[in-house]
Chains A and B, each alone.
Chain A
Amino acid sequence: MDSGPDGAETNAHEPAGQMIAVSLWRGQGSSGGLVRYDVPARDNQTILDIVTHIQRNIDSTLSYRFACRVGMCGSCAMTVNGVPRWTCRTHSGQFTKNGRLTVEPLRNMPIIKDLVADMAPFFDKWQKAEGRFQGKDSRTDDVEPVRPDSPERQTADAGIECINCAICYAACDVVAWNPDYLGPAALNRAWTLMNDIRDTAGGERLRAVSAGDGCHNCHSHQSCMTFCPNDLNPTAAIAGLKRMAVRAVLKGEL
């Protein structure tokens, strides 16, 4: 990479004249639409690079969200050609079709502006699903031993790497049909806590996740699992919660 006269990076290997027609969703709230920008096609560029190019070189009023740029934080998640993706980990060559690309904000959440979705409802549901660890020990107690090879810990470990990027939430059709549905991320978080032997709020949490807008509304479409960039399986976590709740009902505990 070299630095151009305006400070923007230029690629010495950029094929002369090749452009990508990028349609970005522009607007505020629910009003807006796709706006086309022509961006130079480069050998190696991510969707985030393309959005950044537009913001820095074509229209500085474009709003979008990113932080780490290396697939650690999840804040750059957007809808690329109809599919929820981390834009920093999506090579433009994967999705550009006939020189065209469409980038929109994540669905199932209100739009603040342009490509920025309001994630408040997503995080509110973590609270609603009792996604907070509640231990019984204080800082003066000894650390409780947790066996890494115990079935509970291994079950919790299977879902613990969620970074709250909301890709699964945007991919979930049930959330689209029922905006109050807790969604895969919050339920996956609840399932990891239900398998944490140090946690003491299991009963309260099971009531929260098995209420009217909880885990039993999942149709097991598995879009969450299909699109999770961390290869997690929230569908399996939700199935675990369903089983746990049904057992509790049969025992008269719920």
Chain B
Amino acid sequence: MLDARLFLLQRATAIVMAPLVLIHLAVIIFAVRGGFDAAEILSRTRGSWVWGGFYSLFVIAASVHAAIGLRTIGFETFGGSRRTLDVVTIAVAAVLALLGLRAVFAVVAS
């Protein structure tokens, strides 16, 4: 159900996400305490390849990490064949990545 490669992929994406989560939280606190409104935030993110790259990496890592975690929870709760698990895992990762990257596109490139 969870072989060495999937295990490694989930740990690797966790390592990638750890600093990104801290930076993300710091940015939220900075923006809220600074009293930024939506227009001020968008003026900083639009056209910014740094923020676009940062959040794209975050979204991809989170999508892979969450899909593998949900695979484990789903199997241990409901069971299922390996093929079903593979399909669901890939589908969950794809949907999460699509929704996340769409949001990144909205604040960076729209």
Contact = CB atoms under 8 A, between A and B. Distances in A.
A44 to B, nearest CB: 42
A143 interface: no
Interface string A222-254: 000000000000000000001001101110001
Given A246-B8, A249-B8, A212 B76 contact: no
B7 A242 contact: yes
A217 B82 CA distance: 14
Best-surrounded residue of B2, B5, B6, B77 (most CB of chain A within 10 A): B2
B1 A210 contact: no
A206 B62 CA distance: 29
B32 interface: no
A246 B2 CA distance: 13
B4 A178 contact: no
Contacts of B7: 216, 242, 245-246
Contacts, number: 40
B76 A216 contact: no
Nearest to A241: B4
Contacts of B4: 210, 214, 216, 245-246, 248-249, 254
Given A178-B1, A217-B1, A217-B2, A212 B82 contact: yes
A213 interface: yes
A191 to B, nearest CB: 15
Interface string B39-72: 0000000000000000000000000000000001
Q: In which size bucket is the chain A interface?
A: 10 to 19
A212 B3 CA distance: 4
Best-surrounded residue of B4, B76, B82 (most CB of chain A within 10 A): B4
B65 to A, nearest CB: 15
A212 B83 CA distance: 12
A249 B3 CA distance: 11
Contacts of A214: 3-4
B8 A212 contact: no
Nearest to B73: A177
Contacts of A163: none
B105 interface: no
Contacts of A250: 8
Contact of A212 (B2, B11, B77): B2
A213 B77 CA distance: 16
Interface string A150-183: 0000000000000000000000001001101100
A211 interface: yes
Contact of A249 (B5, B75, B77, B82): B5
B3 A178 contact: no
Contacts of B76: 174, 177-178
A248 B77 CA distance: 30
24 contacts: A177-B76, A178-B76, A181-B1, A210-B4, A211-B3, A212-B1, A212-B2, A212-B3, A212-B82, A213-B1, A216-B4, A216-B6, A217-B1, A217-B2, A217-B72, A242-B7, A245-B4, A245-B7, A246-B4, A246-B7, A246-B8, A246-B11, A249-B4, A249-B8
User: Which 5 pairs show the lowest CB-CB distances between chains A and B?
Assistant: A177-B76, A216-B7, A210-B4, A245-B4, A216-B2
Given A212-B82, A246-B4, 4 more contacts: A177-B77, A178-B76, A213-B1, A246-B8
